[in-house]
């Protein structure tokens, strides 16, 4: 299979429970309505959603030699994803997160970086990557073997091979991170963070100032997800477009950004411009918010189209 998209970065096992209103003291038991285990991570969850939307997808990452890694590989293979780019590493557990889901859908993550730390440029299967049309770089900030100059080299090589580069990142409190990310931006066509993360890295609370910061460092287009406030789409040198969110009852926000990325990338592959691609991303992210876990709600492309046609929208943000 020649992939249309390669996702590169975080591959995480999520264990989620809902609704969590408190952490009980001592050995006291707190009963929940639902617990599940899913493929997650900014590369892995996006790959699953892409595959369900009918996109030929390969993924690249690092797993531990443990049952969690076996679970991720088997589930992703069952989705039709090319997992030949997943490397099993010794001495580290598969990256994992425990997520207590609050009644409002919020989820404070308890995370172990684990094997994701072992993902380095040497593990990237370039013959597979260079046959794709799009590289999705997912998880910059939590990839210590790639973050910084190695990521710059990876993105530059992808651009030199003619790929469109899409990136999402997870900011850290490391004071060096903004400069590391800024060095990547000239090689990024579409940057897809959430607004909170985007503002944190840019050092501002103002959305337009944040957009200017990213454009000033060379990114091609900012696509900022804003939860119930929708999405901001701003190609460099053009005016911002604001798209309204879908009106859904939120169960869990885990994976909504990854689903948005999958929908957006699918739109690009279909020849849509960034605004129209973001509309498809909005639908995908909104569907995932209606269930528990990163893979909730997305089944196939026709179902997503039906959701978009039938679901009301909220007010366009200011």
Locate 70 and state its tokens: 């076996």
Locate 284 and state its tokens: 């995908």
Q: Would you give per-residue pLDDT tens digits along the chain (318 residues)? A: 799 999 999 999 999 999 999 888 999 998 999 999 999 999 999 999 999 999 999 999 999 999 999 999 999 999 999 999 999 999 999 999 999 989 988 888 899 989 999 999 999 999 999 999 999 999 999 999 999 999 999 999 999 999 999 999 999 888 999 999 999 999 999 999 999 999 999 999 999 999 999 999 999 999 999 998 999 999 999 999 999 999 999 888 888 999 999 999 999 999 999 999 999 999 999 999 998 888 888 999 999 999 999 999 988 766
pLDDT digits (tens, 9 = 90+) for 45-57: 999 999 999 999 9
Q: What pTM does this model have?
A: 0.95
- Measured distance CA(144)–CA(113) in Å, rounded: 9
pLDDT digits (tens, 9 = 90+) for 212-252: 999 999 999 999 999 989 999 999 999 999 999 999 998 88
Sheet bearing 190-191, strands edge to edge: 82-89, 57-64, 5-9, 134-140, 164-169, 190-191, 221-225, 231-235, 241-243
Question: What ranges do the domains of the chain cover?
Answer: 5-20+33-310
Phi, psi (5° rounding) for residue 153?
-65, -40
Helices marked H in the chain: 44-52, 67-78, 126-129, 149-160, 177-184, 195-202, 207-216, 256-269, 274-288, 301-310
Query: Do the Cβ atoms of 181 and 149 come closer than 8 Å?
Result: no
User: CATH 3.40.1190.20: does it fit domain 5-20+33-310?
Assistant: yes
pLDDT for residue 251: 86
């Amino acid at each position: 299979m020649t992939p249309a998209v390669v996702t590169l970065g975080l591959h995480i096992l999520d264990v989620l429970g809902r609704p969590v209103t408190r952490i009980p003291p001592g050995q006291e038991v707190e009963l929940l309505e639902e617990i599940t285990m899913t493929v997650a991570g900014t590369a892995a969850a996006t790959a699953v959603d892409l595959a369900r939307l009918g996109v030929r997808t390969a993924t690249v990452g690092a797993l531990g030699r443990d049952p969690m890694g076996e679970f991720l590989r088997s589930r992703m293979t069952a989705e039709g994803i090319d997992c030949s780019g997943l490397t099993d590493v010794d001495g580290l557990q598969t990256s994992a997160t425990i997520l207590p889901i609050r009644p409002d859908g919020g989820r404070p993550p308890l995370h172990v970086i684990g094997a994701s730390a072992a993902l380095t440029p040497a593990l990237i299967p370039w013959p597979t990557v260079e046959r794709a049309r799009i590289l999705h770089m997912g998880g910059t900030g939590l990839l210590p073997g790639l973050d910084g100059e190695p990521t710059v080299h990876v993105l530059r090589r992808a651009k030199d091979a003619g790929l469109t580069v899409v990136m999402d990142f997870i900011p850290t409190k490391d004071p060096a991170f903004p400069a590391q990310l800024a060095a990547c931006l000239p090689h990024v066509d579409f940057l897809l963070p959430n607004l909170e993360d985007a503002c944190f890295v840019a050092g501002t609370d103002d959305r337009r100032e944040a957009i200017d910061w990213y454009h000033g460092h060379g990114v091609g287009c900012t696509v900022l997800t804003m939860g119930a406030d929708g999405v901001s789409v701003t190609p460099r040198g053009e005016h911002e477009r604001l798209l309204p969110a879908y009106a859904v009852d939120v169960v869990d926000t885990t994976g909504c950004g990854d689903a948005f990325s999958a929908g957006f990338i699918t739109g690009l592959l279909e020849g849509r411009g960034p605004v129209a691609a973001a509309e498809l991303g909005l639908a995908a992210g909104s569907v995932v918010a209606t269930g528990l876990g990163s893979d909730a709600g997305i089944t196939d492309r026709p179902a997503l189209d039906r959701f978009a046609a039938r679901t009301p929208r909220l007010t366009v943000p200011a």
